[in-house]
A = this chain, B = another copy of it.
Amino acid sequence: MPTDDLDTPHPSRLTPAQARARFRAGLRVPTSGWCSGWTQANLLAVPRDLAYDFLLFAQRNPKACPVLDVSEPGEVSTPLFSGDLRSDLGAYRVYEHGEMVAEVDDATDLWRDDLVSFLIGCSFTFEAPLLEAGVPVRHIELGRNVPMYRTSVACRGAGRLSGPLVVSMRPVPSAQVATAVRVSSRYPAVHGAPVHVGDPAALGIRDLGSPDFGDPVEIRSGEVPVFWACGVTPQAAVMQSRPAFAIGHAPGHMALTDARDSDYLVP
């Protein structure tokens, strides 16, 4: 890990506003471990005429799509995100008819006036509590993006939207799986408890070494792969359902919000 100096504080110590300024200036890195204590969020922006279908899709799939905030049509900030949603994330993916047509650092020129932006909880939120509880988080140790996988589990559809559940995976020493479940289940608004522990084949995942999004990480002897519902699920629904237009964050490159992780902790 880099050490702090006065000019370049470690990303974990930045405020959300400082982090957003760096991304706005063009920095493009995964945000796991950034702005410790501040909540990170997935982004999906869809045209107003698809907003009900998406909000209903989220209501029907709350583990994968816990909605933290919704913008007014055309607005580029929300009560939870005082930055500019078009430019203040590290990277964006732009979809037309379900095909990714661009991955950009700044989506301002591609934004549309009728877009409604949904901010969706992210499992990065409970990584600091996992670390505090002594559960290692391999992709943070390695400075990589978390591995994410499209599964064979279908979400419940809503209107024109359907698609598979996407999961993130963290290898956990078997003696600490219960702790990982207990800690993450206290954050239901950011995916909560794991959806699956142990057998990737049961989720239709053939090769943990080849994630659909993010980077692979080593699973060491005595470790079990633990799978959490992932906020990339909305983009998998866009890919399957092929609406005319949508913009999402690049997986792992999250929106740094003004909310505190503790806001989402249940007793």
Q: How long is the Cα–Cα vector from A60 to B67 in the complex, in angstroms? A: 10
Which of A50-58, A146-154, A198-206 contacts the other chain? A50-58
Residue A70 at the chain B interface, CB threshold 8 Å: yes
Are B52 and A59 within 8 A (Cβ)?
no
Q: How far apart are A152's CB and chain B's nearest CB, in angstroms?
A: 21
Are B51 and A59 within 8 A (Cβ)?
no
Q: How far apart are A129's CB and chain B's nearest CB, in angstroms?
A: 15
Q: Residue A267 contacts which of B52, B55, B60, B185 (CB distance < 8 angstroms)?
A: B185
Residue A266 at the chain B interface, CB threshold 8 Å: yes
Residue A188 at the chain B interface, CB threshold 8 Å: yes
Q: How long is the Cα–Cα vector from A70 to B59 in the complex, in angstroms? A: 9
Interface of A (DSSP majority class): helix
Chain B residue with minimal CB distance to A72? B159
The number of residues on chain A lying at the interface, defined by a beta carbon within 8 Å of a beta carbon of chain B, is 14
Are B266 and A188 within 8 A (Cβ)?
yes
Question: 8 Å CB contacts to B: which residues of A64-121?
Answer: 67, 70
Q: Residue A51 contacts which of B52, B182, B185, B267 (CB distance < 8 angstroms)?
A: B52
Q: Residue A266 contacts which of B59, B182, B266 (CB distance < 8 angstroms)?
A: B266
Q: How long is the Cα–Cα vector from A51 to B52 in the complex, in angstroms? A: 7
Q: How long is the Cα–Cα vector from A267 to B184 in the complex, in angstroms? A: 11
Q: How long is the Cα–Cα vector from A267 to B267 in the complex, in angstroms? A: 9
Q: How long is the Cα–Cα vector from A55 to B60 in the complex, in angstroms? A: 12
Q: How long is the Cα–Cα vector from A52 to B185 in the complex, in angstroms? A: 29
Q: How long is the Cα–Cα vector from A267 to B97 in the complex, in angstroms? A: 41
Contacts of A266 in B (CB 8 A): 185, 188, 266
Chain B residue with minimal CB distance to A58? B59
Return the CB mask of A33-57 against B: 1 if under 8 Å, else 0: 0000000000000000001100110
7 A-B pairs with least C-beta separation: A52-B52, A55-B55, A59-B67, A185-B267, A56-B70, A51-B52, A266-B266
Please name 11 pairs of A and B residues whose Cβ atoms are closer than 8 Å in the assembled complex, sorted by A: A51-B52, A52-B55, A55-B55, A55-B59, A56-B70, A59-B70, A60-B70, A185-B266, A186-B267, A188-B266, A266-B266
Additional A-B contacts beyond A55-B59, A59-B67 (7; CB < 8 A):
A51-B52, A52-B52, A52-B55, A59-B70, A60-B70, A186-B267, A188-B266
